[in-house]
Structure 1
Amino acid sequence: MKIDIRKIAVTLLAVVFVTTACDDTLDINQDPNNPESSTTAFTLPVAEASIAVMMNLDLGIMTGFLNQYWTQAFQASQYQVYDNYTYNGNQTSTAWLHAYAWALEDLKFVRDQAIEDGTPNYEAVSILLSAYTYQMLVDVWDEVPFDEALQGKDGNLNPSYDDGQEVYDGLINMVDEALALIDLSPTAINPGSEDFLMGGDMNMWIKFANTLKLRIYMRQALARPSVAQAGIQQLETDGAAFIEAGEDVMVPFPGGSNNENPLYRGDVSTLGLSGLNINASNTIINFFNAQGDPRIDFYFDAPTTGTSVGTHVGINQGDGVTQTGGTPISDTSIPSSTNIVAPTSSVYFINGFESLFLQAEAQERGWLSGSAATTYAEAVQEAFTFAGMTASAAAFTGAGGNYEYPTGGSQAERLEMIAIQKWIALCGINNVESWAESRRNNYFNNVTGAGSLLDLSQSSAGTGASLNGSQFPLRALYPVSEISTNPNATPNGNIGDGVWWIQ
């Protein structure tokens, strides 16, 4: 939601970089069942910031590579494991920590304290953010602790793992529970400026809840179409309002000490580098160039040295793993230092254009009333507006435009158009969500470029893969620390094993 909360409570963002869950640092003379060292108002923003760090830094780099947005620069090597699909549990241990030990623990504290305080709107927000986080965990790992999660203080240090499909069903129940709790009366106690995402606007939290349900159902469109259809039709029967154009749900980062965007802080300022050791992948650069899409300048900085100054050029996906040294990073395009990896870049949870693309797909499948073509055009328009290119969208979506909705084509072609436009718009904005949708639509195994809008002919990712026979990765592996300490953990398979909703 585009509200200016950068000037209020921003110092709380620093906490996520230097502490663990707030309610873990209680004074030993206090009753552990009634902590006094924190409040819902203090803990909520720390939880929101923890989720942002997990999405933008911990998982954001890996999924930026797997989405073929970014690729390893020739002169560096730290991300080769993503480019050649040899990443393992070591690369995701921090994300797991941020999810369970930080975000979900803090959200549990907020919920428990809200029940004690009699503030149901705080409780509802904590449930919704927990559901959002659990969906991300399932989408990345599949089976995860759910029913027995967060019971460490009660003595359960080895939680069992739940099937991803069962977790998804539980998420719908969580969202419904949160919706039932929301109190819109004028006397209700709402979160305020400490709520980075919504500023305490409970009507926006209702839209967030409905859009999250739509996303959860749509993810099951191929695995359980009857469940997805029934759930989405019930949303319409209930008159559900979804996030709209211009209502981007995000954590803003004002910049400055301890308040920088997580990716910038974790990979630029903390390491003392002059910039990211990441180049643009030719997969997306060639797409933008072939379509004449002006949004390329929003998502990427053009080379500043070499023979292609001012003209966008990338590196073939995976080629950066073959050598170090040589071509400077500045000879090819890099993720935008203004919009994507800047100290003040926001971290987006759900964008208005994502909500519209979800609705367009539901309409195309006949599960939601309305015109899929119209909603699709609105979604593309919003994606261009988000990138500062408002006036350019109509030329692309109008008759004969490169992104015209293929009403005369097959449904498969129309669904592909929706999916690819979502892939473009989410570049560097929400890489984790884009990776989920890329796997659901099986982009990188099936789309060859022949007769397709998306040409992957420049992609060579995975040619050195040792964990899955060079198949496009379909999951992350569990952290070594989790596998080695929890006897109830699901054993690691390989990164070519799909999560439950992949068909």
Structure 2
Amino acid sequence: MKKYLSIIFTVLAIAGSSCKKDYLGELTNNPNTPSVASPSLLLSGSLKTTAGIINGSLFRQYGGYMGFISRSTGYQVFANFDQYAFTTADFDVWSPTYANLSNYNTIINANAGANYTAIAKIMTVYDYQILVDSYNNVPYTQALQGTKNLTPAFDTGTSIYDDLLKQLDAALGLIKGAPASDANPGIADIMFAGDMTKWSKFANTLKLRLALRQTNLTAKTSALKTAVAATQSTGYLGTGLAAKVNPGYTNSDAFGGQQSPFYINFGYTQSGSGQLGQQQYQANTYGINFYNNNNDPRVSRVYALNKDGNVIGSAFGGTATIPAQKDPSKLGPGAIPAATMDAVILASPEALFLQAEAVERGYITGDAQALYNAGIAASFADNGVPNAATAASTYYAQSSVAYPVNGTPDAQIKAIIVQKWAALNPYGMLEAFNEFRRTGYPNDIPLSIYPGVNAPNQVTRIFYPVVVYSTNATNVGAQGTINQFTSKIFWAK
């Protein structure tokens, strides 16, 4: 890992400052530093930044909405969290993601070879899915042009998804057709170390996720099934194979923090004091009750035992202070095992549950029950449950958990999504929220209980950030008035 640290320090010095770009892709002009980093350095820095986006603090609100976490009792009330009173000044996913996209776009334009181009295309798809799933319509065909176009038009979410599928197919074709002499990123690839077979499986898993996200659009179903079936033989992420980034995270607060981003978000500083997110958030009783009611040993892995040896939390939006003798649980050793933990991009359990659903819906062939069970087992292993394989088999043998082989298709989908929700707690806050909006499961997550809150339903989307209204007012204005309870992403139920 020490060799990775030297790489990432260089990336932070070069890609983080001299190659810093705004969301339109404009390079920062600085005559005293290089304007363009090498593809290898830019790849390392870009992957690290993606990991920081998806594992950072941008999606904490979804952890509350999905019953994973709550505001710490006794802590100041967060209006944008407990009361759904967020504005265009909150939850800006836009700016860091477009900046990250501009770096991947630079790699594509560098003509560094098939492998580099394919990786950048795959990660471009990953980032654009984050943007569409957050905002619906966003700049795409006219984006990343820098000063050539400072006010890019917005494309529809559905048209972007259509092209993202094509981009993944193109990336798979580049990898398959790359000559033996093609440049391989090697250790500069801090996700798969240049293993292009793994990159193909990751791309194919993303393709499956894009397709299944659109299951509510029945007019697209036939074409999506055909597209997915065409590359099923490429394989997918799954047991023993996940997309995770680690540039050499270490328990150091130097250079703004070198810990894994999720640990920086919810763990502890180098000296052992709680990070801000660790102080502000605690266990949610909905999550605790789900695990306890299903005899699920992950409860004491996802959440920490308090000083009395119990797991205790509060409801989302709750204001009652828990007595000191019953101090609330924070995230536990399965969720934040160490400052050096990998940063999850797409984990094995999610990939396996995607495949289980795809089999059930007829997108791919396979054994839905076996994939469902494997998804649970992978989650148990990821959380460090003792004797994980045996514990998982005991868990999914229960009638309340067992895959409903003879049940209705709706019952099977519900089982898959609910267990995916349980596996995504807490690292997959955005993805859990996406799946909830698509399927409605779990269908018993309570709304905020904060006094005076009268939400008609769960939040359906966030607002475009203030930076867009100040730099591209006409095009963002054309998207109409956005309402956090009624405006929906095109694929939502």
| Same structural fold, with TM-score higher than 0.5 when normalized by the shorter chain | yes
- Listed as ranges, the matches of 1:48-447 within 5 Å are 48-77=47-76, 79-93=78-92, 95-100=93-98, 102-113=99-110, 115=111, 117=112, 119-154=113-148, 156-182=149-175, 183-222=177-216, 224-238=217-231, 239-252=233-246, 253-256=249-252, 257=254, 258-265=257-264, 269=269, 273=274, 275-304=278-307, 309-319=308-318, 322=319, 327=323, 331-336=327-332, 339-340=335-336, 342-389=338-385, 390=388, 391-398=390-397, 400-443=398-441, 447=443
Q: CA deviation at 1:462?
A: 6.1
Structure 2 CA distance for aligned equivalents of residues 88 and 17 of structure 1: 31
Q: 1:278 to 1:315 in 2, by over 3 A?
A: same
- Deviation readout 1:127-169 (Å, 9 max, x if unpaired): 1101110011111111111111111232x11111111111111
Q: CA deviation at 1:122?
A: 0.5
Structure 2 CA distance for aligned equivalents of residues 462 and 176 of structure 1: 45
- Deviation readout 1:6-42 (Å, 9 max, x if unpaired): 6663435755996474473454499xxxx76411111
Find the residue that maps to 1:140 and give its secondary structure.
Answer: helix
- Which residue number in structure 2 is paired with residue 451 of structure 1? none
Structure 2 CA distance for aligned equivalents of residues 338 and 364 of structure 1: 30
C-alpha contact (below 8 Å) 1:145/1:160 kept by paired residues: yes
C-alpha contact (below 8 Å) 2:291/2:297 kept by paired residues: yes
Q: CA deviation at 1:111?
A: 1.0
Higher relative contact order (CA closer than 8 Å, sequence separation 6+) = 1
Q: 1:195 to 1:14 in 2, by over 3 A?
A: same
C-alpha contact (below 8 Å) 1:299/1:335 kept by paired residues: yes
Find the residue that maps to 2:352 and give its secondary structure.
Answer: helix
Write the letter of the residue equivalent to 1:46.
Answer: G
- Deviation readout 1:30-77 (Å, 9 max, x if unpaired): 9xxxx7641111111211122122212242312222222001112223
Find the residue that maps to 1:349 and give its secondary structure.
Answer: strand
Find the residue that maps to 1:469 and give its secondary structure.
Answer: coil
Higher mean alpha-carbon deviation, 369-378 vs 329-338, is at 329-338
Higher mean alpha-carbon deviation, 183-192 vs 281-290, is at 183-192
C-alpha contact (below 8 Å) 1:317/1:461 kept by paired residues: yes
Structure 1 CA distance for aligned equivalents of residues 44 and 128 of structure 2: 18
Structure 1 CA distance for aligned equivalents of residues 481 and 338 of structure 2: 35
Structure 2 CA distance for aligned equivalents of residues 337 and 12 of structure 1: 31
Structure 2 CA distance for aligned equivalents of residues 265 and 190 of structure 1: 31
C-alpha contact (below 8 Å) 2:115/2:183 kept by paired residues: yes
- Which residue number in structure 2 is paired with residue 453 of structure 1? none
- Which residue number in structure 1 is paired with residue 490 of structure 2? 500
C-alpha contact (below 8 Å) 2:115/2:174 kept by paired residues: yes
Structure 2 CA distance for aligned equivalents of residues 244 and 8 of structure 1: 31
- Deviation readout 1:267-316 (Å, 9 max, x if unpaired): 65499746431011111111111111111122111222xxxx21111101
Structure 2 CA distance for aligned equivalents of residues 281 and 140 of structure 1: 23
C-alpha contact (below 8 Å) 2:15/2:42 kept by paired residues: no
**What TM-score do you get using the length of structure 1 for normalisation?**
0.86
**What TM-score do you get using the length of structure 2 for normalisation?**
0.87
Q: 1:280 to 1:204 in 2, by over 3 A?
A: same
- For structure 1, list consecutive stretches of 5 or more residues without a partner in the other structure: 449-455
Q: Percent identity?
A: 26
Match of 2:448 among 461, 464, 470: 461
Structure 2 CA distance for aligned equivalents of residues 434 and 210 of structure 1: 20
Q: 1:207 to 1:465 in 2, by over 3 A?
A: farther
Q: CA deviation at 1:464?
A: 5.6
Q: 1:402 to 1:18 in 2, by over 3 A?
A: same
C-alpha contact (below 8 Å) 2:59/2:91 kept by paired residues: no
Write the letter of the residue equivalent to 2:457.
Answer: Q
Structure 2 CA distance for aligned equivalents of residues 209 and 368 of structure 1: 16
C-alpha contact (below 8 Å) 2:161/2:210 kept by paired residues: yes
Higher mean alpha-carbon deviation, 353-362 vs 212-221, is at 353-362
- Which residue number in structure 2 is paired with residue 452 of structure 1? none
Q: 1:12 to 1:198 in 2, by over 3 A?
A: farther
Higher mean alpha-carbon deviation, 198-207 vs 49-58, is at 49-58
Q: 1:5 to 1:167 in 2, by over 3 A?
A: farther
Q: CA deviation at 1:373?
A: 1.4
Structure 1 CA distance for aligned equivalents of residues 452 and 203 of structure 2: 39
Q: 1:147 to 1:462 in 2, by over 3 A?
A: farther
Q: 1:473 to 1:36 in 2, by over 3 A?
A: closer
Find the residue that maps to 1:170 and give its secondary structure.
Answer: helix
Q: 1:165 to 1:16 in 2, by over 3 A?
A: farther
Q: 1:413 to 1:4 in 2, by over 3 A?
A: farther
Write the letter of the residue equivalent to 1:495.
Answer: Q
Structure 1 CA distance for aligned equivalents of residues 338 and 124 of structure 2: 27
- Listed as ranges, the matches of 1:25-40 within 5 Å are 25-28=28-31, 37-40=36-39
Q: CA deviation at 1:484?
A: 2.5
Q: 1:16 to 1:47 in 2, by over 3 A?
A: farther
Could you say what the CA RMSD is over the residues aligned between the two structures, in angstroms?
2.8
Structure 2 CA distance for aligned equivalents of residues 406 and 297 of structure 1: 27
- Which residue number in structure 2 is paired with residue 486 of structure 1? 472
Higher mean alpha-carbon deviation, 410-419 vs 236-245, is at 236-245
Structure 1 CA distance for aligned equivalents of residues 484 and 185 of structure 2: 40
Find the residue that maps to 2:37 and give its secondary structure.
Answer: coil
Structure 1 CA distance for aligned equivalents of residues 317 and 439 of structure 2: 22
Find the residue that maps to 1:443 and give its secondary structure.
Answer: coil
